[in-house]
Amino acid sequence: MDVVALTEALVAIPSHEDESAAGAFVADWLREHTDAAVHTDAHGNVVAHKGSGEQSLALVGHHDVVPPDDSQVDAEGEYVVDRRESSRLYGRGTADMKGSLAAAMLAFADAAPTDRELVLASFAGEEQGGVGCQAAIEDGFAVDAAVVVEGSTGYSAPGVTDVAVAHKGRRGSTIVAEGEAAHASEVGAGENAIYRATEAVDVVRDLEFPATEVLGHKLRGSVAVTEIDGGSAWNVIPERCEATVDERTVPSGRADLEGVADATPGVELVVDQDLPPMACGDAAFADAALDVARAIHDDLGLDAPEHVTKPHATDAGWLAQAGTDCLVCGASEPGEAHTDTESASLDVLDRCYRIYAGIAEREL
């Protein structure tokens, strides 16, 4: 089975509400096509091990997807996999990230034995904030280095599969302002929660964005208020107002959101989600992976890939937080994931297979 056929088989399995069938497919395929020890845990994660050595390297993906668009399912609710063009495969999960997962599975199966342990991990619940990866880490999953097969194609130049050495995290918070209700004709009888919330918003507006440098590449975070909701009627002084804050964190840096509540009476900050950023701390690993990618691009007559950074959080953040040196390399291009026209280049899927196999076989 080649990478395109395996991608088609994976994409055809619905996995936005229940990814167990997709996970079972991954596990069964690995048992059939490799001699690895394959385990599916209680969380739906699939992990396979082969080889041995003091060091371990993992190829890491996920088999869940976001809900499909109506155009991506047929009348029976099955996922549609479509080669509308000779060069691309369309369907939910082609880019994020069953195509790269298929390439990683094949690379894991084909990679020649090395002096390290090679691991293939396909996690559940990545689209729900990385819950599968977190659970696996809590249960003892640990590797020295990992290539997380999220998208990195088209960052330095169109069609080039780069190697990401860092990505931002995301902290989503809610500013909760409490006041005291009163009739709007008696303004002084109450405490206006909207005024308190907007005072906090002004503080957020003036916060410094965090910034850092990873292996010579600058990474700058951001913070923005994206939603506000308050009040109950046109003639009532509002007693509660909430504002949503989207913060993009960077390794070892984040905005001082805690200071917002401290500076504003009647305001509390509630953290709703905190996805960690990632920074690769092993320059030799990053350089070796880039050498592999460049050699493959050169063989194909393509522009050379580069080390890049990603704006999006991935499971690499959880792994890095647990002590794994991570890189991100995969087929998805900017703007492809989670769209109603999601697709992946057939050539890039094959290229990713070659990159993963090359990294797995290289001395790092």
The one-letter code for the residue type at 124 is A
- Tokens describing residue 126: 């990545």
Indicate if the pLDDT at residue 7 is higher than 70. yes
- What is the C-alpha separation between 218 and 220, in angstroms, rounded? 7
Nearest to 329 by CA among 357, 361, 364: 357
* H or E, element range at 316: helix 315-321
Q: Report the SS3 class of residue 59.
A: strand
Domain ranges for the chain:
3-168+277-361, 169-274
Q: Is the four-CA dihedral 213, 202, 226, 335 of positive or negative sign?
A: negative
Is there a contact between 199 and 206 (Cβ–Cβ < 8 Å)? no
pLDDT of residue 82: 87
Percent helix, strand and coil across the chain, each rounded to 5? 30, 30, 40
3-class SS at 323? coil
Mean pLDDT of 247-253: 91
Domain 169-274: which CATH class? alpha beta
CA distance 289 to 188: 65
Q: Which residues partner with 61 through β-bridges?
A: 122
pLDDT averaged over every residue in the chain: 95
Q: How many Å from the N-terminal Cα to the C-terminal Cα in the chain? A: 29
In sequence order, what E strands does 68-162 have?
82-85, 88-90, 117-123, 145-148
C-alpha distance from residue 309 to each of 215, 216, 218, 257, 280 (Å): 10, 11, 8, 24, 10
- What per-residue confidence (pLDDT) applies to 332? 96
148-174: pLDDT as tens digits:
999 999 999 999 999 999 999 999 999
Confidence of residue 263 (pLDDT cuts 50, 70, 90): confident
- The pLDDT of residue 199: 95
Cα gap 280→53, rounded to integer Å: 22
| pLDDT in the model for residue 84 | 67
d(CA 92, CA 322): 30
Tell me which fold the domain 3-168+277-361 belongs to. Aminopeptidase (3.40.630)
Residue 351 pLDDT > 90: yes
pLDDT band at 43 (very low <50, low <70, confident <90, very high): very high
Cα–Cα nearest to 327, from 349, 312, 308? 308
Q: Among candidates 193, 255, 190, 196, which has minimal Cα distance to 221?
A: 255
pTM greater than 0.85 (yes/no): yes
> Is the bond leading into 97 cis (omega within 30 degrees of zero)?
yes
pLDDT score recorded for residue 267: 96
CA distance 326 to 133: 14
- Confidence class for position 139, pLDDT limits 50, 70, 90: very high
Q: Which residue has the higher pLDDT, 242 or 363?
A: 242
Count how many Cα atoms sit within 13 Å of the Cα of residue 178 in the half-sphere of its side chain. Answer: 6
Burial class (CB in 10 A: 0-12, 13-18, 19+), 73: middle
Rounded distance, CA 344 to CA 318, Å?
Answer: 26
pLDDT at 363: 72
Model confidence over 314-340: pLDDT tens digits? 999 999 999 999 999 999 999 999 999
Nearest to 298, CA basis, from 364, 363, 355, 360: 355
Kind of pairing between the strands at 145-148 and 56-62: parallel
Higher-scoring residue by pLDDT: 126, 85:
126
**pLDDT of 79-97, one tens digit each?**
999 876 779 999 999 999 9
Task: Give the angle 119-122-126 at the CA atoms, nearest 5°.
Answer: 135
